[in-house]
Amino acid sequence: MLVQQAHAQVVGFSQLQDKLTQSFSINGKAASTLNNYLRCLAHLALHHKQSPEKLSVEEIQDYLYFCQKQHKTPSESFFKHTIFGLRAAYKVMGMEAKRVALPQIKQDQKLPTVLSQQEVKRLLKAPKYLKHRLILATLYDCGLRSYELCNLKLSDVDFERQTVFIPKKKGKVDRYVPLSEHLARGLKKYIATENPQTYLFNSQKTDSGSPRGLTTNGIRWVIKENRSKIGSNKKITAHMLRHSFATHLLEYGVDIVSLKELLGHAHIEMTLTYLHVANLPTCAKFSPLDKLYS
C-alpha cells in the first residue's frame, strides 16, 4: 500500500523502484528483501514528498533520527531496512558519497530459539490432517525456509535416491538434502490420496485454474493452529523448525561443514551460530605431545 502511494504521490519513485527491481533480479536477491526495502523507502519518500535519491544528507539524517525515536534501538527492523534500502538505492543510482554517509548497523547477536526433540515429536503429531502434518515434517526433516517449502515441486522429490532438491535462492547454491524414510512414506500416501499438481503442497488454484504452491501465510496458519497443543511456552515459527533441524543434527554428530551445505548457507559464520545452541559433549583436555609418543 505504501509503495503504491509513493508511486502516485512522489515524482521519480517509480523509476527508483524499477532500477532496484532490475538490480535484485540480476543479482538473484530475494524478492522479500526487495519488498521490505521498497516499503521503507516509500515511507521515506512520502515523509519528505521527494524520491529518496533526491534528498540531501541532512534530510536523510533528520528522517533517520525520526525513525530511531519511533523504535527502541537502531537495530529495530524498520530502521535497519531503511538504512539497507538506502544503501541499495544509492548503489544503483551511482551515489557512492551518500552511501558512505549512512550510519553503520550493529548486527544483533541473538541466539536462535530451538525446540527439543520431544517438542518436535509432539508438534508433528498435533495436526488433524495428514497434509498439515507433512508440511511441518518437511520443514523440519529438510531444514527448509518457508519460501523453499512453498516453491517445492513434485519433481524435486526423488523417492528412489531419497533426496530432495532445493533450487538456489538465498546463498545462491543449489542443494540436495536427505529424505527420511518416515517422511517418504507419508508423502507417498499423501500424493496418492490428494493428487497435488506441479507443487508438492498446493494452495487454491489461480483464477485461470493453474496450480499454485502453498503460501507462507498458509504455513503460518498451520503452525498457529497447532502450537498451542504441545504444551510449550515457546512462540513456534516455521524458521524455528529450521533452527531445530540444524541444532539436532549437530547434537547427533554432523560436522559443521556438512551442516552448512544442508542449510544452504553462503558463509560458514552463519552456521557457526548453532555451535552456541547445541548441547555438545565435552571431552577431557590433553596434550598432543603425549598422544604423539603414546
Of 145, 175, 227, 243, which residue is the catalytic one? 145
Active site residue 243: no
Q: Is 157 helix (H, G, I), strand (E, B) or coil?
A: strand
Q: Residue 269: which residues within 8 A CB-CB, separation 6 or more?
A: none
Of 39, 170, 176, 212, which residue is the catalytic one? 170
- Give the ranges where the chain is alpha helix by DSSP (H): 2-9, 13-26, 31-48, 57-70, 77-92, 96-101, 117-125, 130-142, 146-151, 181-194, 216-226, 238-252, 256-263, 268-272, 288-292
Nearest to 114 by CA among 259, 232, 244: 244
Active site residue 145: yes
Of 132, 169, 248, 265, which residue is the catalytic one? 265
Of 43, 80, 133, 242, which residue is the catalytic one? 242
Q: Is 237 exposed, middle or buried (0-12, 13-18, 19+ CB in 10 A)?
A: middle
Active site residue 170: yes
Active site residue 265: yes
Spatial contact of 134 and 187, defined as CB atoms under 8 Å apart: yes
Active site residue 175: no
Which cell numbers hold the place of 237? Answer: 515459527
Q: Is 101 exposed, middle or buried (0-12, 13-18, 19+ CB in 10 A)?
A: middle
Active site residue 242: yes
Q: Is 255 exposed, middle or buried (0-12, 13-18, 19+ CB in 10 A)?
A: exposed
Q: Is 23 exposed, middle or buried (0-12, 13-18, 19+ CB in 10 A)?
A: middle
The residues annotated with a catalytic role in the active site are 145, 170, 239, 242, 265, 274
